[in-house]
Amino acid sequence: MPVMDYKKPGDAYNNFNINKVAPMFADPKIKFTNYVSTNENTYSAYVSDVLNVTDKLLVMGGIRVDRYENEGTYYPSKDSIAGNYNQTAFSPKFGMVYQIMKDRISVFGNYMNGFSNVSGSDFNGNTFKPNQANQYEGGFKFDLNKISATLSYYDIQVTNITRDDPDHINYSIQDRTQVSKGFEAELIANPISGLNIVAGYTYNDSKFEKSNANVQGLRPTTAGSPRTANLWASYRIVNGPAQGLGFVFGGIYGSEYYQTNTTTFKFSIPSYTVLDASLFYDQPKYRLGIKVDNLTNI
């Protein structure tokens, strides 16, 4: 038996020699029956167009169709196929932009639909339908020369999500719904020559509207932080002997979020703030820079 070097525990794996096991694969008496094969295909087609109804009104529309074919898994040892299914889904989208003040202030709205394939079947043998996601969004855009901003509100509902079947162990049912609502704000400013400021804030309220009792009405762990923000400022000297010298300073913030969130147990990650800074000297033929990440280490 080889001796394990605990200072280099990976050596036993890294020094693996296939020649030592080659005779086993060459032995005709040994048959390998765990071989399986699968065949999946996706076919898609879409059409989309944007119409300039007036010089201030733009309308967009489109539709996409996807055909997913899973021929199942072939088991040579049994000469049988299992798990084959087909799914077809249509995904429409619509949008509109109206310029209240041409090239200055706009209002927009859109609707989008998406889906993802779901494999498997329920206790009665019914093949699961694709997940469906419907998104509605609306907001304003501003462009006032040195300042531009976007404010938007969204509402996303995802249906046909599978969950544990409460009546049949090891089976799933497809009636879970997840809702996500919130708003986003972004600001870009260039108040003086060489100075750029970017700021953003998002708020997201996400929850299971229909699910198992232990997570009903609670925030999904995949939703992340409900509140996030970022602020960055950069300045570059544009004239004089120090032309090209500049700095960047900013950071991001994330509020507390759950890694585990049920009625019986909760585990969360505290809010965090990360601040970064860099100093640079930019010239036509070269660039020098130094960067420090996570200045406050919190």
- List, in order, residues 6 or more apart from 239 with CB less than 8 Å away: none
Please, are residues 89 and 66 in contact by the beta-carbon 8 Å criterion?
Answer: yes
In a domain? residue 10? no
Q: What average pLDDT does the segment 108-120 reach?
A: 89
297 domain-assigned: no
Q: Is residue 31 part of a domain?
A: no
Specify the number of domains making up the chain: 1
Structural domain containing residue 200: 39-292
Q: What is the pLDDT of residue 1?
A: 46
6 occurs within a structural domain:
no
- 138-194 tens-digit pLDDT: 999 999 989 999 999 999 999 999 988 888 888 899 988 999 999 999 999 999 999
Q: Is residue 32 part of a domain?
A: no
* 9 vs 255: which has the higher pLDDT: 255
Q: Given this model, what pLDDT does residue 11 score?
A: 55
Greater confidence, 25 or 56?
A: 56
pLDDT of 278 higher than 50: yes
Q: Torsions phi, psi of 77, nearest 5?
A: -65, -30
Helix H, strand E, coil C: the string for 156-220 is EEEEEEEEECCCCCCCEEEEEEEEEEEEEEEEEECCCCCEEEEEEEEEEEEEEEECCCCCCCCCC
165: CATH: 2.40.170.20
pLDDT reported for residue 118:
83
Per the document, the length of the chain is 298
**231 lies in a domain?**
yes
Residue at 113 is within a domain:
yes
Residue 182 lies in a domain: yes
Give me the residues paired with residue 37 across strands.
74
The answer to whether 181 touches 167, Cβ cutoff 8 Å, is no
pLDDT at site 14? 61
Q: Which tens digit of pLDDT belongs to each residue from 208-229?
A: 988 888 999 999 999 999 999 9
